Amino acid sequence: MRTLYGYFRSSAAYRVRIALNLKQLECEHKAVNLIPGVSEQKSDAYRAINPQGRVPYFIDGDVKLSQSPAILEYLDEVYPDVPLLPEGAANRAYVRQLANIIACDIHPLNNLAVLGKLKGEFGADDALVKKWYGDWITEGFTALEKIVSGSAHTGEFCFGDTPGLADLYLVPQMYNARRFNVDTGPFPTLERIDASCNTLEPFIKALPENQPDAPKA
Ligand SMILES: N[C@@H](CCC(=O)N[C@@H](CS)C(=O)NCC(=O)O)C(=O)O
Protein backbone atom coordinates (compact mmCIF):
# COMPACT_ATOMS: atom_id res chain seq x y z
CA MET A 1 0.00 0.00 0.00
CA ARG A 2 1.27 3.44 -0.94
CA THR A 3 0.46 6.65 0.93
CA LEU A 4 1.30 10.22 0.00
CA TYR A 5 1.03 12.90 2.67
CA GLY A 6 0.49 16.17 0.83
CA TYR A 7 -1.48 19.37 0.58
CA PHE A 8 -3.44 20.49 -2.45
CA ARG A 9 -1.35 23.64 -2.93
CA SER A 10 2.05 22.17 -2.12
CA SER A 11 4.03 22.28 -5.35
CA ALA A 12 6.46 19.65 -4.07
CA ALA A 13 3.54 17.27 -3.44
CA TYR A 14 2.05 18.26 -6.83
CA ARG A 15 5.24 16.97 -8.52
CA VAL A 16 4.83 13.60 -6.86
CA ARG A 17 1.12 13.42 -7.73
CA ILE A 18 1.95 13.94 -11.41
CA ALA A 19 4.61 11.20 -11.31
CA LEU A 20 2.24 8.73 -9.63
CA ASN A 21 -0.41 9.50 -12.25
CA LEU A 22 2.02 9.20 -15.18
CA LYS A 23 3.15 5.84 -13.85
CA GLN A 24 -0.45 4.83 -13.05
CA LEU A 25 0.41 3.91 -9.48
CA GLU A 26 -2.44 3.58 -6.99
CA CYS A 27 -1.86 5.68 -3.89
CA GLU A 28 -3.82 6.79 -0.87
CA HIS A 29 -3.61 10.57 -0.38
CA LYS A 30 -3.59 12.01 3.12
CA ALA A 31 -3.98 15.77 3.48
CA VAL A 32 -1.81 17.77 5.86
CA ASN A 33 -3.29 21.25 6.23
CA LEU A 34 -0.48 23.81 5.82
CA ILE A 35 -2.73 26.87 6.20
CA PRO A 36 -1.01 29.26 8.65
CA GLY A 37 -2.83 29.00 11.94
CA VAL A 38 -3.76 25.36 11.33
CA SER A 39 -0.20 24.23 10.42
CA GLU A 40 -0.79 20.49 10.83
CA GLN A 41 2.74 19.94 9.48
CA LYS A 42 4.10 21.26 12.80
CA SER A 43 1.95 18.98 14.99
CA ASP A 44 3.60 16.29 17.11
CA ALA A 45 1.46 13.70 15.32
CA TYR A 46 2.77 14.68 11.88
CA ARG A 47 6.36 15.20 13.05
CA ALA A 48 6.25 11.65 14.36
CA ILE A 49 5.73 10.65 10.71
CA ASN A 50 8.03 13.21 9.10
CA PRO A 51 10.48 14.82 11.54
CA GLN A 52 11.10 17.66 9.06
CA GLY A 53 7.46 18.75 9.30
CA ARG A 54 7.02 19.25 5.57
CA VAL A 55 5.13 17.66 2.72
CA PRO A 56 5.35 15.53 0.66
CA TYR A 57 6.01 12.39 2.64
CA PHE A 58 5.68 9.08 0.83
CA ILE A 59 5.27 5.54 2.10
CA ASP A 60 5.58 2.49 -0.13
CA GLY A 61 5.49 -0.58 2.08
CA ASP A 62 8.65 -0.43 4.18
CA VAL A 63 10.05 2.53 2.25
CA LYS A 64 9.44 5.89 3.92
CA LEU A 65 10.67 9.07 2.28
CA SER A 66 10.52 12.83 2.51
CA GLN A 67 11.94 15.19 -0.16
CA SER A 68 10.21 15.16 -3.53
CA PRO A 69 13.46 14.74 -5.56
CA ALA A 70 14.27 11.55 -3.60
CA ILE A 71 10.68 10.30 -3.94
CA LEU A 72 10.67 10.94 -7.69
CA GLU A 73 14.01 9.19 -8.24
CA TYR A 74 12.79 6.26 -6.12
CA LEU A 75 9.59 5.97 -8.15
CA ASP A 76 11.55 6.08 -11.38
CA GLU A 77 13.96 3.35 -10.31
CA VAL A 78 11.38 1.03 -8.79
CA TYR A 79 8.59 1.60 -11.34
CA PRO A 80 10.52 2.19 -14.58
CA ASP A 81 7.76 1.26 -17.06
CA VAL A 82 6.92 4.90 -17.72
CA PRO A 83 10.37 6.52 -17.32
CA LEU A 84 10.73 10.09 -16.09
CA LEU A 85 14.35 10.39 -17.22
CA PRO A 86 15.74 9.82 -20.73
CA GLU A 87 18.39 7.31 -21.79
CA GLY A 88 22.04 8.39 -21.48
CA ALA A 89 23.96 10.08 -18.68
CA ALA A 90 24.32 13.41 -20.51
CA ASN A 91 20.60 13.55 -21.31
CA ARG A 92 19.66 12.69 -17.75
CA ALA A 93 22.02 15.36 -16.40
CA TYR A 94 20.48 17.90 -18.80
CA VAL A 95 16.97 17.14 -17.50
CA ARG A 96 18.11 17.22 -13.84
CA GLN A 97 19.71 20.61 -14.52
CA LEU A 98 16.32 21.99 -15.62
CA ALA A 99 14.54 20.40 -12.65
CA ASN A 100 17.13 21.71 -10.19
CA ILE A 101 16.78 25.32 -11.30
CA ILE A 102 13.29 25.02 -9.86
CA ALA A 103 13.95 22.52 -7.05
CA CYS A 104 17.08 24.20 -5.67
CA ASP A 105 17.02 27.83 -6.76
CA ILE A 106 13.35 28.87 -6.86
CA HIS A 107 11.19 26.67 -4.64
CA PRO A 108 13.23 26.68 -1.38
CA LEU A 109 13.31 30.48 -1.33
CA ASN A 110 9.55 30.69 -1.70
CA ASN A 111 8.22 28.04 0.63
CA LEU A 112 5.87 28.78 3.49
CA ALA A 113 8.54 28.67 6.22
CA VAL A 114 10.70 31.26 4.41
CA LEU A 115 7.77 33.58 3.66
CA GLY A 116 6.62 33.27 7.28
CA LYS A 117 10.09 34.22 8.55
CA LEU A 118 10.28 37.21 6.21
CA LYS A 119 6.97 38.48 7.56
CA GLY A 120 7.32 37.47 11.20
CA GLU A 121 11.00 38.09 11.98
CA PHE A 122 12.11 40.53 9.31
CA GLY A 123 9.01 42.72 9.19
CA ALA A 124 8.35 42.39 5.45
CA ASP A 125 4.86 43.50 4.45
CA ASP A 126 2.67 41.69 1.89
CA ALA A 127 3.98 43.80 -1.01
CA LEU A 128 7.62 43.01 -0.19
CA VAL A 129 6.89 39.30 0.24
CA LYS A 130 5.09 39.27 -3.12
CA LYS A 131 8.11 40.96 -4.72
CA TRP A 132 10.48 38.44 -3.11
CA TYR A 133 8.33 35.56 -4.38
CA GLY A 134 8.03 36.93 -7.91
CA ASP A 135 11.68 37.94 -8.24
CA TRP A 136 12.98 34.42 -7.54
CA ILE A 137 10.55 32.90 -10.03
CA THR A 138 11.46 35.47 -12.67
CA GLU A 139 15.18 34.94 -12.15
CA GLY A 140 14.90 31.14 -12.37
CA PHE A 141 12.48 31.17 -15.28
CA THR A 142 14.69 33.61 -17.23
CA ALA A 143 17.52 31.07 -17.17
CA LEU A 144 15.18 28.15 -17.82
CA GLU A 145 13.56 29.87 -20.81
CA LYS A 146 16.98 30.65 -22.28
CA ILE A 147 18.17 27.06 -21.94
CA VAL A 148 14.95 25.38 -23.11
CA SER A 149 14.24 27.74 -26.02
CA GLY A 150 17.79 27.23 -27.32
CA SER A 151 18.03 23.48 -26.92
CA ALA A 152 17.61 20.81 -29.58
CA HIS A 153 16.29 18.55 -26.78
CA THR A 154 13.12 20.61 -26.50
CA GLY A 155 10.04 19.19 -28.13
CA GLU A 156 6.43 19.32 -27.08
CA PHE A 157 7.82 18.94 -23.56
CA CYS A 158 11.09 19.92 -21.86
CA PHE A 159 12.82 16.85 -23.25
CA GLY A 160 11.35 15.57 -26.51
CA ASP A 161 7.71 14.68 -27.04
CA THR A 162 7.09 12.68 -23.88
CA PRO A 163 6.46 14.34 -20.52
CA GLY A 164 9.21 13.72 -17.98
CA LEU A 165 11.00 14.87 -14.85
CA ALA A 166 11.61 18.50 -15.85
CA ASP A 167 7.95 18.95 -16.80
CA LEU A 168 6.71 17.80 -13.46
CA TYR A 169 8.84 20.47 -11.77
CA LEU A 170 7.86 23.13 -14.30
CA VAL A 171 4.07 22.74 -14.16
CA PRO A 172 3.63 23.29 -10.39
CA GLN A 173 6.05 26.23 -10.48
CA MET A 174 4.09 27.82 -13.35
CA TYR A 175 0.93 27.24 -11.33
CA ASN A 176 2.45 29.12 -8.40
CA ALA A 177 3.62 31.92 -10.69
CA ARG A 178 0.07 32.45 -11.97
CA ARG A 179 -1.33 32.24 -8.44
CA PHE A 180 0.95 35.08 -7.34
CA ASN A 181 0.35 37.10 -10.55
CA VAL A 182 3.94 36.75 -11.74
CA ASP A 183 4.11 37.69 -15.43
CA THR A 184 4.94 34.54 -17.39
CA GLY A 185 4.67 36.35 -20.75
CA PRO A 186 8.49 36.66 -21.07
CA PHE A 187 8.72 32.84 -20.97
CA PRO A 188 6.83 31.68 -24.10
CA THR A 189 8.55 28.30 -24.35
CA LEU A 190 7.79 27.50 -20.71
CA GLU A 191 4.18 28.66 -21.23
CA ARG A 192 3.83 26.44 -24.30
CA ILE A 193 5.22 23.36 -22.53
CA ASP A 194 3.05 24.02 -19.47
CA ALA A 195 -0.04 24.29 -21.69
CA SER A 196 0.84 20.99 -23.45
CA CYS A 197 1.24 19.22 -20.10
CA ASN A 198 -2.06 20.56 -18.84
CA THR A 199 -3.98 18.87 -21.66
CA LEU A 200 -2.89 15.46 -20.30
CA GLU A 201 -4.98 13.49 -17.81
CA PRO A 202 -2.10 12.75 -15.33
CA PHE A 203 -1.42 16.48 -15.04
CA ILE A 204 -5.12 17.47 -14.87
CA LYS A 205 -5.79 14.90 -12.15
CA ALA A 206 -2.86 16.30 -10.14
CA LEU A 207 -4.04 19.94 -10.26
CA PRO A 208 -4.46 21.53 -6.82
CA GLU A 209 -8.15 22.28 -7.43
CA ASN A 210 -8.79 18.61 -8.23
CA GLN A 211 -7.57 17.38 -4.83
CA PRO A 212 -10.08 16.34 -2.16
CA ASP A 213 -8.62 18.81 0.37
CA ALA A 214 -9.05 21.80 -1.98
CA PRO A 215 -11.81 24.16 -0.80
CA LYS A 216 -14.97 23.69 -2.85
CA ALA A 217 -15.55 26.60 -5.26
N1 LIG B 1 12.74 20.09 -0.69
C2 LIG B 1 11.47 19.66 -0.20
C3 LIG B 1 10.61 20.86 0.11
C4 LIG B 1 9.35 20.48 0.86
C5 LIG B 1 8.59 21.73 1.26
O6 LIG B 1 9.17 22.78 1.56
N7 LIG B 1 7.28 21.58 1.27
C8 LIG B 1 6.45 22.71 1.64
C9 LIG B 1 5.17 22.70 0.80
S10 LIG B 1 5.52 22.89 -0.92
C11 LIG B 1 6.06 22.55 3.09
O12 LIG B 1 5.75 21.48 3.56
N13 LIG B 1 6.08 23.67 3.83
C14 LIG B 1 5.67 23.68 5.18
C15 LIG B 1 6.35 24.76 5.96
O16 LIG B 1 7.13 25.50 5.35
O17 LIG B 1 6.08 24.84 7.16
C18 LIG B 1 10.78 18.76 -1.24
O19 LIG B 1 11.03 18.95 -2.43
O20 LIG B 1 10.05 17.85 -0.84
Per-domain residue ranges for the chain? 2-82+204-210, 89-201
Pocket of ligand 1 (CB under 6 A): 10-12, 34, 41, 54-56, 67-69, 111-113
**Candidate of 14, 46, 55 to mutate for ligand 1, largest count of ligand atoms within 8 Å of Cβ:** 55
Strands 57-60 and 28-31: unpaired
The residue contributing the CA closest to ligand 1 atom 14 is: 54
Q: Which pLDDT score is estimated for 64? A: 98
pLDDT-based confidence at 84, cuts 50/70/90? very high
| pLDDT tens track for 147-162 | 999 999 999 999 999 9
| pLDDT tens track for 174-210 | 999 999 999 999 999 999 999 999 999 999 999 999 9
| Ligand 1 atom at minimum distance from 114 CA | 16
Residue 165: is its pLDDT beyond 80? Answer: yes
| Residues in contact with 18: Cβ distance below 8 Å, sequence separation at least 6, in sequence order | 167, 168, 171, 172, 202, 203, 206
SS3 state of residue 150 = coil
pLDDT-based confidence at 11, cuts 50/70/90? very high
CA distance 152 to 70: 28
Into which CATH architecture does domain 2-82+204-210 fall? 3-Layer(aba) Sandwich (3.40)
Helix or strand holding residue 3 (H, E): strand 2-6
Q: Compute, in degrees rounded to 10, the torsion defined by CA atoms 110, 202, 155, 135.
A: -10
Shortest CA distance to 170 belongs to which of 205, 130, 143, 131?
143
CA of 133 to the centre of ligand 1 (A): 15
- Mean of all residue pLDDT scores within the chain: 97
Evaluate if pTM is beyond 0.75.
yes
- The CATH code that applies to domain 89-201 is 1.20.1050.10
**Candidate of 32, 75, 111 to mutate for ligand 1, largest count of ligand atoms within 8 Å of Cβ:** 111
**Candidate of 112, 133, 136, 169 to mutate for ligand 1, largest count of ligand atoms within 8 Å of Cβ:** 112
